[in-house]
């Protein structure tokens, strides 16, 4: 199932254009269409997703 980022909650610093798939065990596929970037994580603690994506955004900028 794919989810749209509403720009709030744990991904409040991430652009609203981002969308993602969330799977069991902290597996994510995160699409940043404006940056032409796909991020895949495995076994990431779900509560740390926003923090991890903040680091990704800092690295891309």
Whole-model pTM?
Answer: 0.86
- Look-up of token digits 């744990």: 10
Q: What is the pLDDT of residues 3-15, one digit of tens each?
A: 998 766 677 788 8
DSSP 3-53: EE--S-GGGTTS-TT-EEEEETTTEEEEEEGGGTEEEEESS--GGGHHHHH
Confidence of residue 44 (pLDDT cuts 50, 70, 90): very high
Contact 31, 40 (CB under 8 A): no
Task: Please report the pLDDT score of residue 12 as a whole number.
Answer: 79
- Residue 18: both structure tokens together: 């981002």
Q: Has residue 39 got a pLDDT over 90? A: yes
Q: Where are the domains of the chain?
A: 2-60
Distance CA 17, CA 4 (A): 8
What value does the mean pLDDT take over residues 21-35? 94
Q: Has residue 17 got a pLDDT over 70? A: yes
């Amino acid at each position: 199932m794919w989810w749209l980022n509403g720009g709030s909650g744990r991904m409040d610093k991430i652009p609203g254009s981002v969308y993602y798939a969330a799977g069991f065990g902290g597996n994510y596929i995160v699409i940043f269409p404006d940056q032409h970037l796909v991020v895949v994580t495995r076994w990431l603690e779900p509560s740390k997703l926003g923090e991890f994506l903040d680091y990704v955004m800092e690295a891309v900028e």
